[in-house]
Structure 1
Amino acid sequence: MAPMRVKSFAQRHAEEPRTPSPFTGGAEGHLPEINEDDVFRDVVKKLSEFITEVVTLPSTFEQLRTTIAGDSLRDLVEHLSLECTNPAIVNALLALKWHYNASSEDKGLGEARASACEIVAWRLLTRLSEREAVDYCLYEIPAVTDDSTSEDDTNQQDEERATETTALLSQAWTNTAENARKVLEQTGTSRRSRLFQSISRLTMSMTFDGGSDDEEDDPTSSFIGLNALEIAAIADAKRFLSQNVVQKIITGIWNGDIVFWDSLSVHAEKKPRFYNAHTADPFSRLRVPKYLKSFEVLFFASFLALYYSVLVERNPTRITPIEVLLYIWFGAFIYDELSEWIDAGSIFYAADVWNLFDVIMMSIGIMFAIMRIIGLSRNDRMIVDLAFDILSLEALFMVPRICSILSLSPYWGTLIPCLKEMGKDFIKFMVLVVIIYLGFLTTFSLVGRDRFSLPDMTMILTKIFFGSSYVGFDHMKQIDPIFGPPLMLIFITLSSILLMGSLTGMLSNSFSRVISHAREEYLYVYSVYVLEASTSNRLTHFYPPFNLLALVIFRPLRIFLPSDNKFRAARILLLKATHLPIVGAIMFYELVRGKLKDPDEFAGFFKGPRQETTTLGTPVRPSLKSQQPKRNSDTSYRRSRFTSVSDFSPRFVRPGRTGNVDEDTGEAPTDVEVRIAELSSKIDKLTDLVVRLQAANDTK
């Protein structure tokens, strides 16, 4: 009996007529034909044409996800999962999500199309195996170059040279965006910074639906060098980032199971790969976000200890050795933040709420140092005391900054977005309060000008606003016997009842609005931090305060070592010499952690390549024959396109349809689930065939 073949999506789409959707204007839309070798701009343009054609009316996210409004999106997902092999497909969908959100033509329609792109992106990942999902999410958009191999090699060397020396070069400031872009390219600043500079050009003058073919006017060029997860963070795709399949990848990056650098050598290249403890350089563990965060907490703890020591000693006559150490810590902190801003770019740096605390801490530290030097040089005790008073303000931000590690927990991490949103609404509401307050302040000051000065009246009204209503009743007749009582009653009523009640209700609504999406908000904050800490283009990353040592040594050393290979080798040597104790502690932790774990425990997907084990637990290298998946007649086999992530393990065979996999759960099918789906599909077909044969025999 010949095996039954599953019809392709194109055949089913042609044979099965569909009812036009009222949400899509009655048009079914021509499915985009995306080739594997299409450049990023072409992929974006083809997807944009389809999304624009099928989403023509404003629709909510839930309507597109659960109703017939999203039928065309389901067709697109199935078509892309079976026919498209372009690695930039998820990047393009998320870039379109950002574009439609930024569009100012029709806000409702733009949000609907942005939601459609986000839905298609995450549903596409659920149709892929987990390793394919890693490939798609961590694929970085390459720059469009000529086909010449030598030119490609030259560009790659230039990029490596730029990324390695980025932290050592000064940031030039210019007045025009064009000059700023040229300076950033010349100094090797991360391409992520260019995205911030091209926002106005992209949203105001260019669209993804058309435009000049000139590369200089290409709005998609701003996304060059970004992977899908970074674009999702920029596009505010919180639902996409909160999907389980995406969070598995981010958690793998956080734990160091997925790394971008596996060696510290002159010719090392940045690309995503699974961590292999037997082949990777131990010093590459310095780039793991989990260890970066742990050392950051230790650095801030020592920073706080020096801070308290200087304030307790408070020497007004000279700079003590402890204060010198505090200045060193301040310098290392400022230089590390500057390097982080250059590596991550303005968008990512501003997305992390704790970076605002860092900026304020740096400003207070610089002001303290300036005032301290001026006071000691002039021997002015007042300026010295003012400097220490300014330094006292540092505790308001340093203590919460040390406790920022709590934001990585689900409970505390949920409260931060709530407080952030409530703070925004509070500031907006206070504009109305100030307007009303200024009106009454002007009136009361003029009416009671003979008895109360402007500062006295300001203090009286401020006390009333903050709940001391009896103050108003005590002074209303003194202000004016005729107009004072009625005006004061109106002001007290507005302050105590109307404004305070409205403010409380508004903040409560803000809290409820954010807490209803608490998981998405928390995972967004968590994802931004992981991406910010892991996607640096610099090979050598010095922990503070060792980064100051690298700055002092290698800034003048650039004069004597013009060769980039020698310069990079020298940085690697210094990194290994200074960070050897830290790496030793990391290796000891991983050794103990590995021994304490149950060897038979299923550790999840992101634990490196899975290997077969014997009864004694000795790993056995899989044979080459086992690495070749069989091509079944009812299976659509996708060839591997990325050797960086999938070198260690074979691709999983993915069926033409994933059966009953819930595409909205965000779970990507594992290899076992894929094979179970294949067997279930064959059993269903065999059962259906037997039933039909029995029915045919009964009719005879």
Structure 2
Amino acid sequence: MDPEFERAQTQGLLGPTPEFLTSIPVFPLIPHLKKDVTTVPDTALSWQQLTASDINFAVVRPLVFKYARLENLAVVYACLVVRAHFVSEAGSELAYAGVMLSRANLCEILAMKLLGQSASSKIQLVAVLTTSWNPLAGAPQDVVDQVKEALGGDEDDLNDDQCALEMAIATKAKAFLSSPVAQTVVDDIYSGRVIFSMPANRSVLADNYKPRAIEIYDYRKAPFLDHYRLRVPKYGAILEFINFALLLLTFILCLSKQDTQKITNFEVIFIVFALAFTLEEYTASKEHGWQIYIANMWNVFDTAFILIFLCYVVLRVKGVVQDDDLTSEWAFDVLACEACILFPRLAFFAIKNNIVVIALRGMIAEFVFFMGIAAICFSGLLFTLHTLAGDKWSVRGIAWLMVQIWFGNTYLSFGQASSFHPVFGPILMTGFAALSNTLLLTILISILSNTFARIDANATQEYLFQFAIATIEGVKSDALFSYQPPFNLLAFAILWPASWFVSPRTLHSANVFLIRLTSFPILATISLYERFFAAGKGLRESGKDAAQSIYNSLPRQLKNMPILDALLGANANDIYEALFDIDLEQHETQLFSDESDEDLRPPELRPLPSRDSLRDRRPLSPSSGGRGPSSPLRESHNRRRSGSGSPRPRRTALPPTIQTSSSAEVPSLSKQSPLAKLFSPNSVRQRAVSQIDRTPAMQQTDAALKRLESLLEDARNLPVIRLKDEMKELQERQARIETLLMTLTRGMRNETTHVSRQDTLP
């Protein structure tokens, strides 16, 4: 486990309370963010241009500092809400789509930067991303009334709370979700190290009796049968795979034992499992909304399975009621088409991280879109051929012929062309064959190749986006998700009617009892795994140590066997790991001389010493009088301070005390003032030597002098000094601009001189 999480567990850290999160204003941030983002990018800028250094320092950083000073946890959510507005505007105002998308990208960049401001506190970072915010929180009443009127006057539409992660998925902020800071939280949510609960506002069966604050999970404080662990996405993915395997098994048994006269037992079991799966998918789509649900590519397969299953149920019920064997046969034929979805869906669990699988959804969408456009374009040719053929060809026959020609059977276009019309038939069919097989298929292949290349270039970002979707879908607050199919049907039949007349406390108690009763083996397995077999637990570590000790005691001939290397791993890197397990500080030797690291570096790479550091490092020896030897760096530094760039040494016609001075300042030949004498190194050293002989009055004087010295140090940072530095910088910039102008106009001056010389010639 992460050490930071272990420290958080030992300290019992909790997140912000729900009362505090409810009191945070959200609406005042939205108009200010919209105004600031609107006034900045007035032209279409790409993502690379928005993340360039000049835009970052001139635009992004000032806005980040401006909103970071508010210390509002909802500012990241507000940025994503404004991004959703600009994405919608880009779709409606095509003339300004580029500008709107640039502003939307700027909102995403601001959200990423502002999220990094909360990265120092893990619990605060989780609260920023997982808290469900209401965009109207903190809004005036007239604004609430206007929004309510715009939505049709329904009060329930105003309670559409969403967290920042859900808004990022809805607006497809893939860069935000794939950032390391956001992925840290997503990974912690997926593995169950972070606990939080979302309000069940759109759930089929809501259980909001005990809302839980955001906290770090500690198995030592949790009960043994913790029913909330069933909502951990990592365990939910494993249970989903098992449930899908059971569904596939019942599907195969149902088709192998089909009977058109009656409903068999295997068919009843399959229908029960399929209905439980349908209820689970419906609850998932209702929990987070259809937009987030359909963004997951696996849910597309699940939706197709449900549609085919509903068609089967309708035909099967009709065949059984009317005693129609033909309709029942059609029902089983429709059900057999489910195998095209169930088998790949189960296989994709093992290779879901492959780039081909990730790109499959985008390629299928492009293919369906292109085929739809092609079908609309060639519908005119279908009508023309049907008109020319008359009664010889039906619409269905012509459509099937065109499909065969489209997918490569070009000889049919030449063999059947004259049957439509002796003159126009061959011309039309030849043109259709040329377009479909030469032009349009080439365009389709190019589109699919570009789609795969685009997704392959952003494969990591696309995978992390899909991973974030799966994680958020796994954190479901609906009570039905804690039941495994087909027990969710039982819970729905019992608890959903009871939720209308029982108290929330009674509903919560009955819900917890049913979850622990129906999922007892699963909860016990999860609890034992987290306490003894998870990474970092004692039993697992002791088992690894025992296996390693047994492996080390084997002869060398057995150690080098390939089968043992494959099972236990080769020990080629053990020496490197063991090297750093010992205490290396106790075995340090004198590798370098007594010179410090600064003395070993070249003079031009050494940092400039400060006056305090030089005074502290000056040796106190009677022979040197408390002054160290002057280094080349100090001499070059003094030459720069005095304005002389000559490498020649200065004349040494100075007093010895000035020549051997190690101060970073240029020494003065004038008599020292009383204040300079007061703070000279000799006086400081003398005060340090005789400190033990000081009287209380003298110590008070020294304290006053120290305060005066601190005031003088603070005076160096006055605006006057900064103004002088800025004026010097402006003068340097002006000199560079003048030099650049002289260089640019040098050609013009030469040309003018040449012309004037020609005019003076006789």
Specify if TM > 0.5: yes
Distance of aligned partners of 1:98 and 1:72 in 2 relative to their CA distance in 1, 3 Å threshold: farther
| 1:166 alignment counterpart | none
| 1:295 alignment counterpart | 239
| 2:321 alignment counterpart | 377
What one-letter code is carried by the residue in structure 2 that aligns with 1:241?
L
Cα distance per residue 1:637-677 (max 9 Å; x no partner): xxxxxxxxxxxxxxxxxxxxxxxxxxxxxxxxxxxxxxxxx
For residue 471 of structure 2, the aligned residue among 506, 530, 535 is: 530
- Cα pair 1:77 1:123 within 8 Å, conserved: no
1:158-169 to structure 2, matched below 5 A, reads none
Could you tell me how far apart the structure 2 residues matched to 1:336 and 1:454 are? 42
Cα distance per residue 1:183-224 (max 9 Å; x no partner): xx3xxxxxxxx5xxxxxxxxxxxxxxxxxxxxxxxxxx67x5
| 1:139 alignment counterpart | 131
| 1:236 alignment counterpart | 172
| 2:288 alignment counterpart | 344
Cα distance per residue 1:513-559 (max 9 Å; x no partner): 22222222211111111112114265973222111121222245457
- Cα pair 1:261 1:539 within 8 Å, conserved: no
Cα distance per residue 1:342-401 (max 9 Å; x no partner): 222222222223223223322332332332233223222112212211221222222233
| 2:333 alignment counterpart | 389
Question: Are 1:69 and 2:55 matched, yes or no?
Answer: yes
Question: Are 1:401 and 2:345 matched, yes or no?
Answer: yes
- Cα pair 1:332 1:544 within 8 Å, conserved: yes
1:471 deviates by 2.1
Question: Are 1:279 and 2:218 matched, yes or no?
Answer: no
- Cα pair 2:30 2:82 within 8 Å, conserved: yes
- Cα pair 2:280 2:481 within 8 Å, conserved: no
Distance of aligned partners of 1:97 and 1:406 in 2 relative to their CA distance in 1, 3 Å threshold: farther
Cα distance per residue 1:36-88 (max 9 Å; x no partner): 98611111222222212222222111101014233333323551576231111
- Cα pair 2:479 2:511 within 8 Å, conserved: no
What one-letter code is carried by the residue in structure 2 that aligns with 1:434?
A
The TM-score normalised by the length of structure 1 is: 0.67
Could you tell me how far apart the structure 1 residues matched to 2:442 and 2:32 are? 51
- Cα pair 1:540 1:575 within 8 Å, conserved: no
Question: Are 1:581 and 2:521 matched, yes or no?
Answer: yes
Could you tell me how far apart the structure 2 residues matched to 1:252 and 1:235 are? 23
Q: Percent identity?
A: 27
Could you tell me how far apart the structure 2 residues matched to 1:243 and 1:533 are? 20
| 1:270 alignment counterpart | 212
How many residues end up aligned between the 2 structures?
Answer: 512
Question: Are 1:110 and 2:97 matched, yes or no?
Answer: no
Unaligned runs of 5+ in 1: 1-35, 148-175, 186-193, 195-220, 602-682
Could you tell me how far apart the structure 1 residues matched to 2:138 and 2:151 are? 27
Question: Are 1:55 and 2:22 matched, yes or no?
Answer: no
3-state DSSP of counterpart to 1:178 = coil
| 2:487 alignment counterpart | 546
Question: Are 1:42 and 2:32 matched, yes or no?
Answer: no
1:687 deviates by 6.6
- Cα pair 1:260 1:272 within 8 Å, conserved: yes
Could you tell me how far apart the structure 2 residues matched to 1:367 and 1:235 are? 34
1:445-464 to structure 2, matched below 5 A, reads 445-449=386-390, 452=393, 454-464=395-405
| 1:469 alignment counterpart | 410
3-state DSSP of counterpart to 2:28 = helix
- Cα pair 2:29 2:78 within 8 Å, conserved: yes
- Cα pair 1:238 1:520 within 8 Å, conserved: yes
Unaligned runs of 5+ in 2: 1-21, 140-149, 199-205, 545-605, 615-632, 639-662, 668-762
For residue 425 of structure 1, the aligned residue among 346, 351, 366 is: 366
Question: Over aligned residue pairs, what C-alpha RMSD do you find?
Answer: 3.4
Question: Are 1:566 and 2:552 matched, yes or no?
Answer: no
| 1:178 alignment counterpart | 152
3-state DSSP of counterpart to 1:536 = coil
What one-letter code is carried by the residue in structure 2 that aligns with 1:461?
M
- Cα pair 1:51 1:116 within 8 Å, conserved: yes
Could you tell me how far apart the structure 1 residues matched to 2:511 and 2:608 are? 62
Could you tell me how far apart the structure 1 residues matched to 2:497 and 2:433 are? 67
Could you tell me how far apart the structure 1 residues matched to 2:376 and 2:291 are? 33
Distance of aligned partners of 1:686 and 1:231 in 2 relative to their CA distance in 1, 3 Å threshold: farther
- Cα pair 1:51 1:113 within 8 Å, conserved: yes
Could you tell me how far apart the structure 2 residues matched to 1:49 and 1:467 are? 56
- Cα pair 2:243 2:485 within 8 Å, conserved: yes
Distance of aligned partners of 1:556 and 1:382 in 2 relative to their CA distance in 1, 3 Å threshold: same
Question: Which one has more relative contact order, counting CA pairs under 8 Å at least 6 apart?
Answer: 1
Cα distance per residue 1:73-114 (max 9 Å; x no partner): 332355157623111111111111111111134211111111
- Cα pair 1:368 1:387 within 8 Å, conserved: yes
Could you tell me how far apart the structure 2 residues matched to 1:326 and 1:484 are? 52
For residue 96 of structure 1, the aligned residue among 76, 79, 82 is: 82
For residue 317 of structure 1, the aligned residue among 261, 269, 273 is: 261
- Cα pair 2:28 2:138 within 8 Å, conserved: no
- Cα pair 2:176 2:182 within 8 Å, conserved: yes
| 1:245 alignment counterpart | 181
Cα distance per residue 1:222-280 (max 9 Å; x no partner): 7x532211111112101000111111110110110111159x99952133221111112
- Cα pair 1:80 1:124 within 8 Å, conserved: no
Cα distance per residue 1:394-448 (max 9 Å; x no partner): 2222223333434652x2xx33452222233223322442244333334444445
**Farther-moved stretch of structure 1 (388-397 vs 459-468):** 459-468
Could you tell me how far apart the structure 2 residues matched to 1:521 and 1:126 are? 21
Distance of aligned partners of 1:440 and 1:265 in 2 relative to their CA distance in 1, 3 Å threshold: closer
- Cα pair 2:26 2:135 within 8 Å, conserved: no
Could you tell me how far apart the structure 1 residues matched to 2:134 and 2:384 are? 64
| 1:362 alignment counterpart | 306
- Cα pair 1:306 1:326 within 8 Å, conserved: yes
Distance of aligned partners of 1:271 and 1:227 in 2 relative to their CA distance in 1, 3 Å threshold: farther
Could you tell me how far apart the structure 2 residues matched to 1:124 and 1:381 are? 65
Could you tell me how far apart the structure 2 residues matched to 1:495 and 1:236 are? 35
Distance of aligned partners of 1:336 and 1:443 in 2 relative to their CA distance in 1, 3 Å threshold: closer
Could you tell me how far apart the structure 2 residues matched to 1:144 and 1:431 are? 41
Could you tell me how far apart the structure 2 residues matched to 1:266 and 1:472 are? 66
For residue 256 of structure 1, the aligned residue among 184, 192, 206 is: 192
- Cα pair 1:344 1:536 within 8 Å, conserved: no
Could you tell me how far apart the structure 1 residues matched to 2:256 and 2:480 are? 40
Distance of aligned partners of 1:383 and 1:60 in 2 relative to their CA distance in 1, 3 Å threshold: same
The TM-score normalised by the length of structure 2 is: 0.61
What one-letter code is carried by the residue in structure 1 that aligns with 2:54?
I
3-state DSSP of counterpart to 1:529 = helix
Could you tell me how far apart the structure 1 residues matched to 2:51 and 2:27 are? 27
3-state DSSP of counterpart to 2:482 = coil
| 2:718 alignment counterpart | none
Could you tell me how far apart the structure 1 residues matched to 2:389 and 2:611 are? 93
Distance of aligned partners of 1:424 and 1:37 in 2 relative to their CA distance in 1, 3 Å threshold: same
- Cα pair 1:98 1:236 within 8 Å, conserved: no
| 2:628 alignment counterpart | none
- Cα pair 2:192 2:233 within 8 Å, conserved: yes
Larger CA Rg, structure 1 vs 2: 2
Could you tell me how far apart the structure 2 residues matched to 1:310 and 1:69 are? 63
What one-letter code is carried by the residue in structure 1 that aligns with 2:88?
A
